[in-house]
Amino acid sequence: MELTGKVAIVTGSGRGLGLAYAKELAASGAKVVVNDVDAATAEAAAKEITDAGGTAVAEVAAVGSTEAADALVARAVAEFGRLDVLVTNAGVLRDRVLWKMSDDDFDTVIGVHLRGTFTCARAAARQMREQGDGGRLILVGSPAGQRGNFGQTNYSAAKAGIAAFARTWSMELARAGITVNAVIPVAATAMTETIPALQGYVEKMRAGEPMPAFARQALAFGGPEDAAGLVAFLASDAASDVTGQCIGIGGDRLSLWSHPQQVATAYAEGGWSADAIARVWSTTVGAEPQSVGEKLPEPPAN
């Protein structure tokens, strides 16, 4: 994939998926602004990219505020003269069930994921519109935002909002030639090792063992590098007509998530009373209720 001449920002790219995205973009020819809240981590990531022959600089910022977003865009323009690609990857977890979740647990996750995606995308869109030759906003979502996940009120809500951002902004930015898509990755990272069904696979990968075919295919679970090709594709000219989509990637699987839509309807002349709904619910719109959460298949017996 040829990205020579492109300039990209990847938030939260000091490690994990963000680092994999930044490395893939740089390997494809893009100049990259690496971002992390920790200076040593950000500098190490930028050095890893430059040592491999790429071009990268580190910008230390806690994503969320307008000031941080503006600083990231300003750094890209100051260093490389423009901005073509933004990948909003920065994130944190504060998992709690609803009745145990504090205001701070909620606000921290919403602030980084949802507000951080908004402020960074707004700053990037302003720069791209001023340049006048299009651009790419690549937002990072999650299966939790598509399906919900136990113990992740804050994270699921933020990621669902990010999917809605992609759909809305794809319409608003179409005339400017800026595409907007959400990547829905599944990979072995610090954020997925907390999921009981995936912990064993994360441990295997860290031990240098190959990921089993069941994990890579049935669970769509692999390493961060397995999700990076999609980001490079969406950043490229080959994806100039792809916008407003939520695209899944992980292990050996590439997928397209559906947008929410009405799946069953019923009509009553004059409208619906509560009693009327109760009479027909189980035989009409409620006959096949929608499922929630990710339903992971069981591994084959040894």
Cα(142)–Cα(163) distance, integer angstroms: 9
Instruction: State which amino acid sits at residue 55.
Output: T
* pLDDT for res 208: 86
pTM: 0.94
How is residue 93 written in tokens?
């977890």
Mean pLDDT over residues 159-167, rounded? 98
| Domains within the chain, CATH numbers bracketed | 7-257 (3.40.50.720)
Report the 10 Å Cβ neighbour count for 58: 22
Catalytic residue among 21, 155, 201, 267: 155
> Any catalytic annotation for residue 21?
no
* pLDDT for res 205: 81
How is residue 283 written in tokens?
């035989």
* pLDDT for res 47: 98
Mean pLDDT over residues 125-138, rounded? 98
pLDDT digits (tens, 9 = 90+) for 269-291: 999 999 999 999 999 999 999 99
HEC assignment per residue over the chain = CCCCCCEEEECCCCCHHHHHHHHHHHHCCCEEEEEECCHHHHHHHHHHHHHCCCEEEEEECCECEHHHHHHHHHHHHHHHCCCCEEEECCCCCCCECHHHCCHHHHHHHHHHHHHHHHHHHHHHHHHHHHHCCCEEEEEECCHHHHHCCCCEHHHHHHHHHHHHHHHHHHHHCHHHCEEEEEEEECECCCCCCCCHHHHHHHHHHHCCCCCCHHHHHCCCCECCHHHHHHHHHHHCHHHCCCCCCEEEEECCEEEEECCCCCCCCCCCCCCCCHHHHHHHHHHCCCCCCCCCCCCCCCCCCC
* pLDDT for res 201: 83
Q: What does DSSP say about strands 178-185 and 135-140: parallel, antiparallel, or unpaired?
A: parallel
pLDDT over threshold 70, residue 302 = no
pLDDT over threshold 90, residue 49 = yes
pLDDT digits (tens, 9 = 90+) for 65-120: 999 999 999 999 999 999 999 999 999 999 999 999 999 999 999 999 999 999 99
* pLDDT for res 196: 74
What is the average pLDDT value for the chain, to the nearest integer?
Answer: 95
